[in-house]
Amino acid sequence: SAITGTAAVCIGETTTLTATPAAGSWTVGNTNASVDAATGVVTGVSSGVAIINYTVSGTGTCPNATASRTVTVSPQPNAGVISGNQNICAGSTSTFASTVAGGTWSSANTSIATINSTTGVVAGVSPGTTTISYIAIGIGGCPNVMATRTVTVNSIVTPNFFSAFSLCSGSVAPVLATTSVNGITGTWLPSTISNTTSGTYSFTPTIGQCATTATLNVTVIPKV
């Protein structure tokens, strides 16, 4: 008798073996797998190699005939746990990682965010939310498995300040606000306004905000 069928199965999954003639019965020689005596359906139980036997009863004075086939039982793949900053700015990047190496990364919507398939570097493209997937390849009869994590891409905000104003030389200069009208915090350089010299002041948002820099032009008018 010749046994045919896939000789690899995943733990918890099944594969079917067949043999001729069809009147025999199936048994397994160890505990790495189980087999249905009538159908030849093999179920993976634990990692290792299972020996599957097919026996045809002899007739008359003929002995029983047995054929054997080894089946490799593999563990279920694991996509691991994904980590990485889920909130990024358009035009910026974040790196996702999994606790299991060797998988492949993909983005459900590359118009919102792209991801390098091997390094896990996410790049924000436009505002919105998309799903990042990490696929671990199954081997030895095991299916692929996938873990997911969402990423939200935020638009870049321009801090809302007056862009320019003037004051008389020697007058009291206003204090530069460290929070814009639209809620962006940051620092100014220079940090205080001169009441003797005209100049440009630059506002740098605090790291972690999706905001760009802003400038303020101050004109100091000499006294008449």
The answer, as to whether pTM is greater than 0.85, is no
**pLDDT reported for residue 9:** 94
pLDDT tens digits for range 134-154: 999 888 879 899 999 999 999
Dihedral sign from CA coordinates of 192, 193, 196, 199: positive
**pLDDT reported for residue 1:** 62
Q: Distances from the Cα of 151 to the Cαs of 14, 209, 211, in angstroms?
A: 36, 16, 18
AA letter at 174: P
Dihedral sign from CA coordinates of 155, 158, 159, 160: negative
pLDDT tens digits for range 54-74: 999 887 778 889 999 999 999
